[in-house]
Structure 1
Amino acid sequence: MKYKAPHIITEGGVAYQLGKLRNHEIQYDFKKMLIYLDAKGKLLFGKKFKIHSEDQRILYKLCSYFIKDRDSCEKFGIDIEKGLLISGPVGCGKTSLMKLLRHMVPHQRPYEMIPCRNVVFGFNHLGYKTIEDYGNSCFFCFDDLGVEPPGRFYGKDCNVMGEVLLSRYELYLNTKRKIKTHATTNLNAQELEERYGNRVRSRMRELFNLVAFDKESRDKRK
């Protein structure tokens, strides 16, 4: 589907203009993007949803990534060819933001949100076909990486998400148009290495841009 005006998004009969179109290039306005994200968030998650002022800095980074603002991303050390690894404490809003931000760029290829525990449940039921299925050319965001249960199929243990990430890395490496993988996690870098090993952690550095919430971020679900 082609979008003649991807910077104008209509939700609930209201048109939100996220910027201006000049010479076939969108010049986004962050304040207008926040207005849209707040409105879309309320539609997705209920009237209690709000954009918190303390999250605007990290949200600016994420918005810059999604709209492919190369100059801003360069300042933040973000590679727009890589995926995102969003880390932060429980309840800080990682999952909600990743569910929300994909709606802001309807002209870009969407990703599917997949809870990591569902990937493991699939493996425990179907075996290695599950790992093959997630090593395909779709875009995924794996939610709650690192706290999924152990994988076991016909008596054999498997670090399922570790294997999926290795498959995604091979896919990323061997495609001209990079196949992106995103993820959210409550774990820090050391905990991820303990969970998946040094080899997977090394591949993750090449797969992902790390965008971290402050470790003191409050639980917004309370």
Structure 2
Amino acid sequence: MNNKRPDIIKEGAVEYRLGTLKGHRMVYDFDSILVYLEAKGKLMFGDAFEIYEADRDIIFRLCNYIIKDHVNCKKLGIDIHKGILLSGPVGCGKTSLMKLLKCIVPHQRPYLVVPSRNIVFGFNHVGYKTIEDYGMTQFFCFDDLGVEPIGRHYGKDCNVMGEIMLSRYDLFIQHHIKTHATTNLNAQELEERYGSRVRSRMRELFNLIAFDSASSDKRK
């Protein structure tokens, strides 16, 4: 992948132009980004992958965030200093979009997409070191937040992702370290899962971008 020119990304023998360099300023073209995202999605997830017209508004918001378009983000009510909490029903494409989104900006610091349930399984095996490990300065996207099981280590229960959210909040406040997440839950369900203190921190950590609750399951 070509990291040196943000206007061109090379996948194999094919080059995709995402916009135009004007001096030191990159001017992105949204339709060109969509072409690249669909092509990259087919490479990552198979030929059945496609970008749906119904998702255009969501993708527009996500793209403006990731390219740090200050003007459009201000219009859209998005704070580029916060992370993204992408919510929506099962199968609407949240995880795929978050995996694809970072590919648009290979010159930026990437985030790792990690299933929340895998983090809990790690906690069950090694204990509280897992929480410490996710309190480091790496950028993460926690996938399927809120549906992971309660952690248990040596007979003691722990709301692992709730504890990690508190650690990530401290990192955000002290060092401007971003956290992203995807979830099937709404705000009330997240509060029931993690408590009001964590939910309050999540409001400061994240921009909420939500699919329509009627979005179709694309995996069917």
Q: What TM-score do the two structures reach when normalised by structure 2?
A: 0.98
Cα displacement string for residues 83-139 of structure 1 (whole angstroms, at most 9, x for unaligned residues): 000000000000000011111100000000100001101111111100000000000
- Match for residue 137 of structure 1? 137
| Aligned mates of 2:134, 2:61 — CA distance in 1 | 27
- Match for residue 212 of structure 1? 210
Residue correspondence of structure 1 range 11-50 to structure 2 within 5 A: 11-50=11-50
| Aligned mates of 1:50, 1:143 — CA distance in 2 | 21
Residue correspondence of structure 1 range 16-165 to structure 2 within 5 A: 16-165=16-165
Residue correspondence of structure 1 range 151-190 to structure 2 within 5 A: 151-175=151-175, 178-190=176-188
Deviation at 1:55, TM superposition (A): 0.2
Matched, 1:193 2:191: yes
Deviation at 1:8, TM superposition (A): 0.2
Secondary structure of the residue that 2:15 maps to in structure 1? strand
Do the aligned residues in 1 keep the contact of 2:41 with 2:49 (CA within 8 Å)? yes
Give the letter aligned to residue 217 of structure 1: S
Cα displacement string for residues 127-171 of structure 1 (whole angstroms, at most 9, x for unaligned residues): 110000000000000000000011111111100000000000001
Q: Structure 2 unaligned runs (5+)?
A: none
Do the aligned residues in 1 keep the contact of 2:4 with 2:107 (CA within 8 Å)? no
| Aligned mates of 1:31, 1:59 — CA distance in 2 | 11
Give the letter aligned to residue 185 of structure 2: L
| Aligned mates of 1:159, 1:210 — CA distance in 2 | 22
Give the letter aligned to residue 60 of structure 2: Y
Deviation at 1:4, TM superposition (A): 3.0
Give the letter aligned to residue 97 of structure 2: L
Q: Report how many aligned residue pairs link the two structures.
A: 220
| Aligned mates of 1:200, 1:2 — CA distance in 2 | 39
| Aligned mates of 2:190, 2:50 — CA distance in 1 | 30
Give the letter aligned to residue 85 of structure 1: L
| Aligned mates of 1:39, 1:12 — CA distance in 2 | 11
Give the letter aligned to residue 213 of structure 2: K
| Aligned mates of 1:191, 1:184 — CA distance in 2 | 14
Give the letter aligned to residue 139 of structure 2: F
Give the letter aligned to residue 50 of structure 1: E
Secondary structure of the residue that 2:144 maps to in structure 1? strand
Matched, 1:202 2:200: yes
| Aligned mates of 1:10, 1:4 — CA distance in 2 | 11
Q: Structure 1 unaligned runs (5+)?
A: none
Do the aligned residues in 1 keep the contact of 2:2 with 2:10 (CA within 8 Å)? no
Secondary structure of the residue that 1:37 maps to in structure 2? helix
Deviation at 1:2, TM superposition (A): 9.2
